[in-house]
Amino acid sequence: MTAGTLSRVRRPARPMSLWRLEWLRLTRTPRAIALAAVFLFIGLIEPVVTRYLRDIVGRLSHGARIPLPLPSPADGLNSYVSEVTLVGLIVVVAVAAGALTFDTRAGISTFLRTRVSSMTRLVLPRFAVTAAAAAVAYLLGTLGAWYETSVLLGSLPVGGVLAGIGCGAVYMMFAVAVTALAASLARSAIGTVGTALAILIVIPIAGSIHAIANWLPSALVNAPVELVGSEHLAHFIPSLAVTAAASAAAVWFAVFRLARREA
């Protein structure tokens, strides 16, 4: 046996904490790749579609004139935000549901519940790692959209884009927190996804009430587009504060409910 082999044999194994376990579960499965790939693909393709939309419509209209305005740089970013709010958000909720619905299998649920001192230690790593992954995916997608928009449509203000990335990342964290809440209300992964998406759909509807629109988390959805226009980050401080508080409350309620649920 060589010295290198002996050193590998004698090296103690790294302790498997719940944080490290969740990180490995995310990175050694298709979950992380799926998140990054979906957001980055949308970020790279949407400004291209926006840039050539007039040509595409012209070819499909068979000579009929359909007047379309020339796209602006803000339009390129807006197309990304609109698409990622639909497709990307569904992927985020699905990935979060996979992490937080550990009660779907009785054996795994019993195994996990009997090896942690509190439900907080079980839920918090799953929420935090998934929320961080969703925020990084949103960052990658926005950087892709920013690059394509700059190349095809024109430059965007750096400060506005960076502030928009922050707002979008906070909203993705909120979406994961809502999924944690849904996991404490539903027993299945499909039920969790459906419940979380229903909550995320209802909130923008409540935003139709003008008096509370700027305070709701849904105000952050279109913040990246508004921040490259005339709005300033201060306009979104109420929404950021409410979103952070609502996220913490949703995670706390999920821990409370899951701790009292029978495995």
Contact (Cβ atoms closer than 8 angstroms) between residue 95 and residue 127: no
CA torsion through residues 162, 166, 167, 171, sign: positive
Please tell me the distance from the alpha carbon of residue 76 to that of residue 93, in angstroms, as a whole number.
Answer: 25
Q: What is the largest CA-CA distance in the chain?
A: 79
Three-state SS string over 86-139 comes to HHHHHHHHHHHHHHHCHHHCHHHHHHHHCCCCCHHHHHHHHHHHHHHHHHHHHH
Q: What angle in degrees, to the nearest 10, is found between the helix axes of 158-185 and 189-206?
A: 130
Residues shown for the chain = 263
Please tell me the distance from the alpha carbon of residue 135 to that of residue 165, in angstroms, as a whole number.
Answer: 9
Digitized pLDDT (tens) for each residue of the chain, 263 residues in all: 455 554 555 555 555 677 787 888 888 888 889 999 999 999 999 999 888 876 666 666 555 555 666 788 899 999 999 999 999 999 999 999 988 887 677 666 666 666 677 788 888 999 999 999 999 999 999 999 999 999 999 999 999 999 999 999 999 999 999 999 999 998 888 999 999 999 999 998 888 888 888 999 999 999 999 999 888 999 999 999 999 999 999 999 999 988 887 65
Q: Which residue has the tokens 């926005």?
A: 142
Helices within the chain (DSSP H only): 3-10, 18-27, 30-51, 53-60, 73-83, 89-100, 106-113, 119-152, 158-185, 189-206, 210-213, 223-227, 237-259
Contact (Cβ atoms closer than 8 angstroms) between residue 38 and residue 88: yes
Reported pTM: 0.87
Q: Supply the DSSP symbol for 52.
A: T
